[in-house]
Amino acid sequence: MNSTTETAVFRSTGQDLPFARPSNVQSTRFRDALILRVNMALQVTLATRAEVVHSRTTQCCLACFVLALILYAEGCSSRGELSIGVDDRGPTEQSIHFTSKGVTLAGTLVLPKGSLRHPAVVLLHGSGPQSRDLFMARWFGAHGLAALAYDKRGVGESGGDFRTVPFMELADDGLAAVAYLQSRQEIDSHRIGVWGLSQGGWLGPLAASHSPDVAFVIAVSGPGVSPGEQMLFYYANELRADGMPEEDVRRADALRRIVWHYRSTGEGYEQAKLEQERDRKQRWHHQVSVQQDHLFTPLEAPAEVKRPDNPQARWYRQEMIYDPLPALQALRVPSLFIFGGEDRLVPVEESIAVIRRALTQSGKSNFTIRLLPRDDHQLRLADGPKQGEVDPEYLQIMQTWLQKQVN
Residue-level pLDDT, tens digit, the chain, 407 residues: 333 333 323 223 232 322 233 333 333 343 444 434 434 443 433 343 333 333 434 343 433 333 333 333 333 333 222 233 444 568 999 999 999 999 999 999 999 988 789 999 999 999 999 999 999 999 999 999 999 999 999 999 999 999 999 999 999 999 999 999 999 999 999 999 999 999 999 999 999 999 999 999 999 999 999 999 999 999 999 999 999 999 999 999 999 999 999 999 999 999 999 999 999 999 999 999 999 999 999 999 999 999 988 888 889 999 999 999 999 999 999 999 999 999 999 999 999 999 999 999 999 999 999 999 999 999 999 999 999 999 999 999 999 999 999 87
**Rounded-to-integer distance, Cα 108 and Cα 104, Å:** 14
Residue 153, C-beta contacts closer than 8 angstroms, at least 6 positions apart: 103, 105, 159, 160, 161, 162, 165, 170, 173
Would you say domain 92-226+322-405 falls under CATH 3.40.50.1820? yes
pTM: 0.77
Contacts of 240 (CB under 8 A, 6+ apart): 246, 249
- For the chain, count helices (H), then strands (E): 16, 8
- H helices of 106-226, in order, are 134-142, 171-182, 199-210
Cβ proximity of 152 and 171 under 8 Å: no
**pLDDT of res. 340:** 98
Cα–Cα distance between 287 and 371 in angstroms, integer?
Answer: 32
Tell me what pLDDT residue 86 has: 44
Give the residues across from 120 on adjacent strands. 146, 192
Q: Where are the alpha helices (DSSP H) in 266-375?
A: 269-279, 285-289, 302-305, 313, 325-329, 348-361
| pLDDT value, residue 28 | 39
CA quadruple 303, 308, 314, 320: dihedral, nearest 10: 50
Indicate the domain borders of the chain. Answer: 27-79, 92-226+322-405, 231-318
Question: What is the distance between the alpha carbons of residues 92 and 111, in angstroms, rounded to a whole number?
Answer: 5
Dmax over Cα atoms in the chain, in whole Å?
A: 77
Which pLDDT does position 275 carry in this prediction?
A: 97
Phi-psi region of 180 (alpha: psi -120 to 50; beta: other; left: phi over 0): alpha
Q: What span, in angstroms and rounded, lies between the C-alpha atoms of 62 and 142?
A: 23
Contact 336, 401 (CB under 8 A): yes
Three-state DSSP at 100 gives: strand
